[in-house]
Structure 1
Amino acid sequence: MAYRSFKILVSSAGRRVGLIECFRRAARALNIDIQILACDLDPDLSAACGVADRAFAVPAYSHPEFTGRLAEIARAHDVRLLVPTIDPELVPLAAAAGDFAHFDCRVHVSTPPVIDVVRDKLETMRVLDAAGVPVPRTGMLEEVRGELSRWDWPLFLKPNAGSASRSISMVRSMADLPETTAEPMILQQYLDGPEHTVNAFVDDGGTLQSVISHRRLRIRAGEVEKGVTERHTAHRAMAEGILRALPDLRGAFCFQVMDDRLTGPRVIEINARFGGGYPLVDHAGATFAQWLLEEVAGLPRTVHDDWREGVLMLRYDAAVFRG
């Protein structure tokens, strides 16, 4: 059945105005009518909720009623596609995706085993390494604390389940390591070189259709502020390796690569969702939002890997006004 009109729900919408605009542009290209609903903990203070057609308040992703409230909204408003935007909500939404499917709503999320891996940075490194994908040396802080004389300094310290560059720091010696931590932390080999985000799209049949890299020229709060698209055969090979390691990965995802000057490129983490820099990808011609709408609407597929290299994104602050 082909849908020519349906609703999308963007969860944890926050500042993802650019993502909403990409979906609206995709709908115009496909000549379908969509309404975009958005939700957040406090929708009155969310720019994306401000530009959506309707907005709703929901509990935090850690609340036991989080997915139930989203399902309530989706069912009441005939939502056909739910798009998560932050890593922590992927675990509860992956577990609940089958409940949404009962009323014909697709959650843009991979299976729980995939999400369990990508939300655990140490496990991600282990799984990718076993699949032959190059990764940096990584270990749990408490497990390797006593053997760090065999590691090369400096190192990166980060939460094992962190996101958005939260609580990341460089440590140059044992004296820089905290004695206690509020959450499990990993230590990772320091990599020195350009950083890239590699965005990829896997169709609903499990085929890797497009891989597009952008070099992160400047970062703010964990998101690319200035970036330029580049084509790297090594990054494509890494994406293929990730899919071999995680064959149930679906839809849009991205991974971070450090092109170390000595060891070459290494994957440092995976985000199984639309990345914060996706508007650059979309503008360069890798229109993941459109391809996802084609799948949900039952329309002919236009997926390709013919995007434009050298597209530069320069982000700036804008405002949504109320009242």
Structure 2
Amino acid sequence: MNILLTSVGRRSYLVKYFKEGLKGTGKVYVSNSSEGAPAFKNADEYVVTPIIYDELYIEFLKNYCLEKNIEGVISLFDVDLLMLSKHKKEFEKLGIKIIVSNENVINICNDKWKTKIFLHENSFDLPKTYLDLEEVVKDIENGNLNFPLILKPRWGMGSISIYEAENMEELRVFYKKIDREIYRTYLKYESEETVGSNILIQEKILGQEYGLDIINDLNGNYCTTIVKKKNAMRCGETDCAEVIDFKELKEIGKKISSKLKHIGNLDVDLFIKDNNIYILEMNARFGGGYPFSHLAGVDLPKAIVKWLKNEDVNYEEVFKEKYGVIGQKDIEIISIK
């Protein structure tokens, strides 16, 4: 069985995890639209694709999968998730399983305003969240909202254009700055659908941050939730974390799973302040915090391989985490040429 990881970027560790999951029964192929992706070094084979929004992208992937006898495709990038979710049936007709949630789930996660609506409608607490700048100003003047405030793109990902405003002047300056910056990045594609309401403004929650890996099987059935206490962050990703036993957060993971019915991993960020749990955002993919779960004994890549082979998965074996395991990301320099 061969697997393709698309938009692989720097996720070399996931390439290694899937190689271990296959145990020599197949190859791990990777793709990226940039030929300088560091993870290329660890794959059995790699390919440079057209950019995700190129009209040739999907056809290119189909042909590549057929050429290399690839049976499972997993994306590691938010923009790619949406594109692949729209074409899942086309791949399935060719015998290729796209391990991505349906389009509605991806939209809820990628569009942070839809995330807010989903959380509110399902009775989850979240930071006060706005799309209208003047509504924010009005709430500040009326004493219903306080600085600092976080501003970020509605379709944000990868910590692009995130700013913290401590006063009214910064609020207005950062709002205009983000509006300009969006159209200089790949965020411009989704943002073209929501012109005039592309900037999210949220109250900043000053509390302990946690991350969840909420794992469902390939049919959207709940498997487990792994809880990580975040000890340090770097560029929007978890840099140091401890896997812990936190029953209340595990129950929240189970509830989110039942409402969303995602496929595979759902990466969730949340804060706890004064015993209140605030959900910040959700990503329908392997997140930057997954390696901490893996370090503690969780092996989702192994489970995915077994699911693709229609083999039984022993959840006690592949999803049983060891509590108290603390991980720290390292920096390694590699040659890409």
TM-score (norm 2): 0.87
Q: Does 1:35 align with 2:48?
A: no
Quote the residue 1:57 is aligned against: 48
Contact 2:151–2:202 (Cα < 8 Å) also in 1? yes
Quote the residue 1:288 is aligned against: 300
Cα distance in 1 for residues equivalent to 2:256 and 2:202? 19
Task: Note the 1:155-166 alignment, pairs <5 A.
Answer: 155-166=149-160
Q: Does 1:276 align with 2:288?
A: yes
What displacement does 1:263 show?
Answer: 5.7
| Shift in alpha-carbon separation, 1:143–1:287, aligned structure 2, 3 A | farther
| Shift in alpha-carbon separation, 1:311–1:255, aligned structure 2, 3 A | same
Cα distance in 2 for residues equivalent to 1:263 and 1:144? 28
Query: 5+ residue gaps in structure 2?
Result: 183-197
Contact 1:16–1:48 (Cα < 8 Å) also in 2? yes
Quote the residue 1:244 is aligned against: 258
Quote the residue 2:19 is aligned against: 24
| Shift in alpha-carbon separation, 1:264–1:197, aligned structure 2, 3 A | same
Contact 1:128–1:245 (Cα < 8 Å) also in 2? no
Task: Note the 1:192-271 alignment, pairs <5 A.
Answer: 192-247=206-261, 249-260=262-273, 262=274, 264-271=276-283
| Shift in alpha-carbon separation, 1:143–1:56, aligned structure 2, 3 A | farther
What displacement does 1:21 show?
Answer: 1.0
* Helix, strand or coil at the partner of 2:315: coil
Structure 1 runs of 4+ with >3 Å offset? 319-323
* Helix, strand or coil at the partner of 1:18: helix
Contact 1:199–1:211 (Cα < 8 Å) also in 2? yes
Cα distance in 1 for residues equivalent to 2:132 and 2:299? 40
The Cα offsets for residues 245-264 of structure 1, whole Å up to 9 and x where unpaired, read as: 313x111111001122x362
Cα distance in 2 for residues equivalent to 1:278 and 1:34? 23
Give the counterpart letter for 1:316 in structure 2. D
What displacement does 1:144 show?
Answer: 2.4
Contact 1:128–1:241 (Cα < 8 Å) also in 2? no
Cα distance in 1 for residues equivalent to 2:12 and 2:227? 22
Contact 1:253–1:273 (Cα < 8 Å) also in 2? yes
What displacement does 1:283 show?
Answer: 2.1
Fraction of identical pairs, as percent: 21
Query: 5+ residue gaps in structure 1?
Result: 1-5
* Helix, strand or coil at the partner of 2:41: helix
The Cα offsets for residues 147-196 of structure 1, whole Å up to 9 and x where unpaired, read as: 23232222111111101222111112221123532341111121011211
TM-score (norm 1): 0.91
Cα distance in 2 for residues equivalent to 1:236 and 1:308? 15
Count of equivalent residues:
312
Quote the residue 2:2 is aligned against: 7
Cα distance in 1 for residues equivalent to 2:46 and 2:220? 33
Give the counterpart letter for 2:254 in structure 1. E
Quote the residue 1:3 is aligned against: none
Kindly report the root-mean-square deviation, in angstroms, between the aligned alpha carbons of the 2 structures.
1.7
Cα distance in 1 for residues equivalent to 2:219 and 2:28? 26
What displacement does 1:120 show?
Answer: 0.9
Give the counterpart letter for 2:103 in structure 1. P
The Cα offsets for residues 300-320 of structure 1, whole Å up to 9 and x where unpaired, read as: 112245211111112212233
Counterpart of 1:97 (choices 88, 99, 109) is: 88
What displacement does 1:228 show?
Answer: 1.2
